[in-house]
Chains A and B, each alone.
Chain A
Amino acid sequence: MSNRIGLGFAAALASLATMQVAAHHGAGVFEPEKKVTVEGTVTDFQFVNPHVLVYLSVKGDGGKDVQWGGELTSPNRLARDERAVKWHKEILKPGDRITVTGHPARNGAPMMDILKIVDAKGTVLIDDE
């Protein structure tokens, strides 16, 4: 995971350096007509603009761990009264067990546009289903 973040940071710097700042890919890469639910352990939580990102380790077929990633809207919006639960930068932390539902990536990547997150206590942190 640390390698992944390191590479990501380098990529971000490279993007800034060339002023080719990548932006949102739009909703087309996810399948709005499908949903997937996975349960796993949070490995990374980034409460950052433009999209809050959640990474979790999920036990896949054959017992192999699969790294899933999911995106939410902006932290500003998650922290406002549009939400039943107001989010903050410590609402999730590595090691937390969560169940996540979302629209899966069209290309089969273990990534999703997150609709719902339920924590280990059964608290619904977000529900846009």
Chain B
Amino acid sequence: MNRERNAAVASVCALVLWVSAATAQVPTKGEHNADLSGVWTNQNVPGTGEWAIYTFSKDLPEMTAWGKARFDASKPQRGPRGVPVAETDDLVYKCYPPGTPRIYIHPFPMEIIQLPGRVLMIFEYDHLVRQIYTDGREHRTDLAVSWMGDSIGHWEGKTLVIETNNFNDKTWIDRIAVPHSDKMVLTERLHLNDQGQLQIDMRIDDPVALAKPWEFSRYYRKTDWTIEELMCVDNATYTPFEDALLEFDEEKAE
């Protein structure tokens, strides 16, 4: 009797184990349709060098009255309205995160790592990381607003489509102070183009700040580099040089 009961218990245990194993092996929606992994660096389109280092398009996007008021009140360090560092209200100069998509303007590489159900973007600048979930989950609703946003991705053919929301409204979209609200939604489409570049087509929807969506693209060249350290706080090591430069007094020097 005991033997029969033990056999039955063993069978049930085996069934449970089998079901658990089978459940664990069920393919998730996390498989990837293309290999975008690698270390990528900015490759601006020829002729865009002047503005591509501080914004995403030659012309400003159309802003709402709310957006224009914020834009006019800001003091960017870069671009046609650039002011000295001491006068800028650009939070990045105090080492706050640049946010998404501004992180793409920084002239340092980023690495894409594809894991089951997830894509990681590791940026050299300040070692910022974006986690893009591709396992079919929805955006979370229990997160505090954030600098880099909450990113959910899915594949459309060989294009990775990422939707990012849940931003705070402290960052600028670019380095010349185009503003956004906490209603901003960034949609990115990442794919390998005919030149072997990683092409990221972006669209920003923000009915509070922008009168219509702002669309632009950035391009990346694949490298054999590794992501190294580049911490914003190291800017302090530059202070002596900067001070000597800005406070130079020619009369005293002579």
In the complex, the answer to whether A21 meets B94 with C-beta atoms within 8 Å is yes
Specify which chain B residues have a CB less than 8 angstroms from the CB of A74 in the assembled complex. 108, 230
Given contacts A26-B77, A81-B223, contact A21 B232 (CB under 8 A): yes
In the complex, the answer to whether B238 meets A4 with C-beta atoms within 8 Å is no
Per-residue A-contact encoding for B224-236, CB less than 8 Å = 1, 0 else? 1100111111111
Complex Cα spacing A28 to B107, Å: 18
Is the C-beta of A120 less than 8 angstroms from some C-beta in chain B?
no
Given contacts A76-B108, A108-B250, contact A50 B235 (CB under 8 A): yes
Complex Cα spacing A15 to B241, Å: 13
Looking at B82, B228, B241, the one whose CB has the most chain A CB atoms below 10 A away is B241
In the complex, the answer to whether B225 meets A26 with C-beta atoms within 8 Å is no
Which one, B95, B225, B250, contacts A21 given CB within 8 A?
B95
Q: How many residues of A contact B (CB 8 A)?
A: 39
Per-residue B-contact encoding for A1-40, CB less than 8 Å = 1, 0 else? 0001101110111011001111111101100000000000
State the Cβ distance, B34 to closest chain A Cβ, in Å. 25
State the Cβ distance, B78 to closest chain A Cβ, in Å. 7
In the complex, the answer to whether B240 meets A4 with C-beta atoms within 8 Å is yes
State the Cβ distance, B82 to closest chain A Cβ, in Å. 6
Which residues between 206 and 254 of chain B lie within 8 Å of chain A, taking CB atoms? 223-225, 228-246, 248, 250, 253
Per-residue A-contact encoding for B171-197, CB less than 8 Å = 1, 0 else? 000000000000000000000000000
Interface range on chain B (Cβ under 8 Å from partner) = 35 or more
In the complex, the answer to whether A109 meets B236 with C-beta atoms within 8 Å is no
Specify which chain A residues have a CB less than 8 angstroms from the CB of B244 in the assembled complex. 69, 109, 111
State the Cβ distance, B38 to closest chain A Cβ, in Å. 14
Specify which chain B residues have a CB less than 8 angstroms from the CB of A15 in the assembled complex. 236, 239
Given contacts A23-B85, A24-B235, A80-B225, contact A29 B246 (CB under 8 A): yes
Is the C-beta of B150 less than 8 angstroms from some C-beta in chain A?
no
Complex Cα spacing A108 to B240, Å: 17
Which residues between 145 and 186 of chain B lie within 8 Å of chain A, taking CB atoms? none
Is the C-beta of A105 less than 8 angstroms from some C-beta in chain B?
yes
Which residues between 78 and 114 of chain A lie within 8 Å of chain B, taking CB atoms? 80-81, 105, 107-111
Specify which chain A residues have a CB less than 8 angstroms from the CB of B230 in the assembled complex. 49-50, 74, 76
Is the C-beta of B46 less than 8 angstroms from some C-beta in chain A?
no
Which residues between 40 and 59 of chain A lie within 8 Å of chain B, taking CB atoms? 46, 48-51, 53
